[in-house]
């Protein structure tokens, strides 16, 4: 895969500076391999550093908009009259029309005062712009390879049970391992990231000239999932011991299917628990809450009436927030099972 224009620019700027440090970072190199990101570590690190600088500059610039003299957010805020003095100044202008001076702030009102931007908020803005944004950008960009490796690992564990069944069927038809991996690699739309690892095995055997056992050992080091590591290691052990791959594939397919059923069962149990809690929290509790509030107002001597603002807050704010929260929980839980 060719580098993007941005990656090439970053590499030209700082690739040489980070070359020794990046190649000495074994964890970064391993994450790039597991994440299937075909780039050198110094390219990745240079891209991360330059991107962090750009994001930090943008964050500092946005914070700087608050502190620009005369046109900044803080100066515009502090140029407005304090609402606490509006009534006093209006009354002063009513009784002292002869003393009104439109050239003076507040028409010359002695009690005129402007708003004050909270000093704590100014400090918070500076901390966000000069500390939190750069650190957050560095952490986020630096962890991109690790997040992608974890994502690939999760996707591999979802697809591997079905890919193992496919390899067992191919082995039962007396297909060679090279043909099995080639066929698996050609079905990426079905087997996802598993097909990518299978394609690398087929490439090592056919294009680079490695034997099957060596290519399997290489795949063990770059596998993003523990399941796939065990799968390749089992193949190496079976081939080395002279065993039958067909039996190995059948056993692995049965094992992964059993693990997959267990995971799906846990997912269904968690959804069932969410459904039960939804009935209690989002359906029954609001009804009891409204009844209890009415009784509390009645006992307190305020009559059976509820304040309009509180009623709107509960009906239009609190109750919909419960439904939205449960919808987000179910959506995020379901996305983890998407294939």
Q: Identify whether residues 14 and 131 lie together within a single domain.
A: yes
Q: How many CA atoms lie within 13 A of 252 on its CB side?
A: 28
pLDDT value at residue 125: 92
> 81 pairs with which residues across the strands?
114
* Total number of residues shown for the chain: 339
In a domain, 81, yes or no: no
Q: Which residues does 75 contact at the CB level (< 8 Å), separation at least 6?
A: 68, 69
Per-residue pLDDT, 84 = 84
Q: Which residues contact 68 (CB under 8 A, 6 or more apart)?
A: 75
Do 223 and 197 form a contact (C-beta atoms < 8 A)? yes
For 279-323, write each residue's pLDDT tens digit.
Answer: 888 888 888 887 777 776 666 555 545 666 777 787 788 888 988
Confidence of residue 338 (pLDDT cuts 50, 70, 90): low
208 shares a domain with 129: no
Task: Please indicate, yes or no, whether residues 203 and 250 belong to a single structural domain of this protein.
Answer: yes
Report residue 339's pLDDT band, with 50, 70 and 90 as the boundaries.
Answer: low
Domain boundaries, position 180: 147-258
**pTM (2 d.p.):** 0.77
pLDDT value at residue 290: 77
- Say if residue 155 is in the same domain as residue 216: yes
Which DSSP string corresponds to 48-105?
HHHHHHHHHHHHHHHHHHHHSTTTSHHHHHHTSBPHHHHHHHHHHHHH-GGG--TTSG
169 falls within a domain: yes
CA distance 200 to 205: 9
pLDDT digits (tens, 9 = 90+) for 46-71: 999 999 999 999 999 999 898 888 88
Based on the fold, state whether residues 28 and 128 are members of the same structural domain: yes
Asked whether residue 130 falls in the same domain as residue 20, the answer is yes
Which helix (H) or strand (E) segment holds residue 158: the answer is helix 144-172
pLDDT in tens, 86-143: 888 888 888 888 788 877 877 888 888 888 888 899 999 999 999 999 999 999 999 9
The secondary structure of residue 115, as a DSSP letter, is: -
Check residue 53 and give its pLDDT.
95
Residue 82: inside a domain: no
Q: Facing residues of 205 across strands?
A: none
Q: Looking at the structure, do residues 187 and 291 belong to the same domain, yes or no?
A: no
The reply to whether 278 falls in a domain is yes
Q: Two tokens at 291?
A: 């009844």
* In a shared domain, residues 244 and 304: no
Residue that terminates a domain, selected from 211, 236, 258 = 258
pLDDT (0 to 100) of residue 115: 86
Secondary structure of residue 309 in the 3-state scheme:
helix
Mean pLDDT (whole number) for 146-157:
91
Q: How far apart are CA 110 and CA 88, in angstroms?
A: 10
Structure-token match 């603002």, residue found: 309
Average pLDDT over residues 239-256: 88
* DSSP assignment letter at 118: -
pLDDT digits (tens, 9 = 90+) for 195-204: 999 999 999 9
Claim to verify: residue 329 and residue 239 sit in the same structural domain: no
pLDDT the model gives residue 299: 65
The burial class, CB within 10 Å (0-12 / 13-18 / 19+), for 173 is exposed
Cα separation, 121 vs 106, in Å, equals: 26
pLDDT at position 286 is 82
Q: Is residue 113 part of a domain?
A: no
With 90 as the cut, is the pLDDT of residue 15 above it? no
| 238 plus 298 within the same structural domain | no
Based on the fold, state whether residues 232 and 284 are members of the same structural domain.
Answer: no
């Amino acid at each position: 895969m060719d580098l993007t224009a941005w990656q090439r620019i970053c590499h030209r700027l700082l690739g040489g500076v980070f070359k020794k440090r990046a190649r000495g970072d074994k964890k970064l190199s391993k994450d790039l391999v597991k994440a299937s990101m075909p780039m050198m570590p110094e390219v990745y690190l240079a891209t991360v550093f330059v991107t962090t600088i750009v994001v930090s500059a943008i964050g500092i610039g946005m914070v700087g908009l608050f502190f620009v003299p005369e046109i900044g957010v803080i100066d515009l805020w502090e140029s407005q009259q304090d609402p606490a003095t509006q009534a006093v100044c209006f009354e002063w202008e009513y009784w002292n029309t002869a003393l009104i001076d439109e050239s003076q702030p507040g028409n010359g009102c002695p009690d005129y005062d402007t708003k004050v931007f909270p000093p704590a908020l100014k400090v918070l803005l500076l901390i966000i712009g000069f500390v939190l944004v750069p650190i957050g950008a560095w952490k986020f960009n630096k962890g991109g390879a690790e997040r992608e490796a974890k994502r690939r690992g999760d996707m591999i564990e979802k697809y591997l049970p079905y890919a193992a069944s496919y390899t067992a069927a191919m082995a039962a038809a007396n297909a060679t391992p090279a043909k099995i991996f080639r066929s698996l690699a050609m079905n990426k739309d079905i087997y996802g990231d598993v097909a990518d690892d299978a394609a690398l095995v087929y490439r090592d055997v056919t294009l680079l000239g490695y034997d099957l056992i060596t290519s399997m050992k290489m795949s063990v080091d770059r596998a993003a999932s523990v399941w796939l590591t065990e799968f390749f290691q089992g193949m190496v052990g079976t081939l080395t011991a002279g065993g039958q791959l067909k039996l190995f594939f059948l056993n692995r397919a049965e094992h992964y299917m059993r693990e997959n059923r267990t995971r799906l069962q846990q997912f269904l149990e968690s959804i069932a628990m969410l459904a039960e809690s939804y009935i209690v929290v989002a359906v029954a509790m609001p009804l009891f809450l409204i009844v209890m509030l009415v009784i509390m107002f009645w006992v307190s001597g305020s009559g059976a009436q509820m304040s309009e603002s509180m009623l709107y807050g509960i009906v239009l704010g609190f109750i919909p927030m419960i439904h939205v929260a449960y919808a987000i929980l179910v959506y995020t839980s379901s996305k983890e099972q998407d294939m």
